[in-house]
Amino acid sequence: MSGVSLSLEGKVALITGGSRGIGAATVRLFQKAGARVAFNYRAAQSAADALVAECGADHRIAFAQDLSTPEDGRALVRRTVDHFGRIDILIANHGIWESADVPIFTMSDTQWRTTLAINLDSVFGLIQAAAAAMQQQNSAKIPTAGLGAAGHIVLISSTAGQRGEAFHADYAATKGAVISMTKGLATELAPHGIRVNCVAPGWVDTEMSAPAMADPQTRARALATIPLGRIANPLEIAGPVLFLCTPLAGFMTGEIVNVNGGAVLVG
Q: What is the set of active-site residues?
A: 171
Q: How far apart are CA 223 and CA 8, in angstroms?
A: 35
Q: Taking Cα atoms as reference points, which of 148, 143, 135, 155 lies closest to residue 251?
A: 148
Q: Taking Cα atoms as reference points, which of 171, 190, 148 lies closest to residue 9?
A: 148
DSSP for 166-196 reads: TT-HHHHHHHHHHHHHHHHHHHHHGGGTEEE
At 38, which helix (H) or strand (E)? strand 36-41
Query: Chain-centre distance of CA 48, in angstroms?
Result: 17
Q: How far apart are CA 17 and CA 27, in angstroms?
A: 10
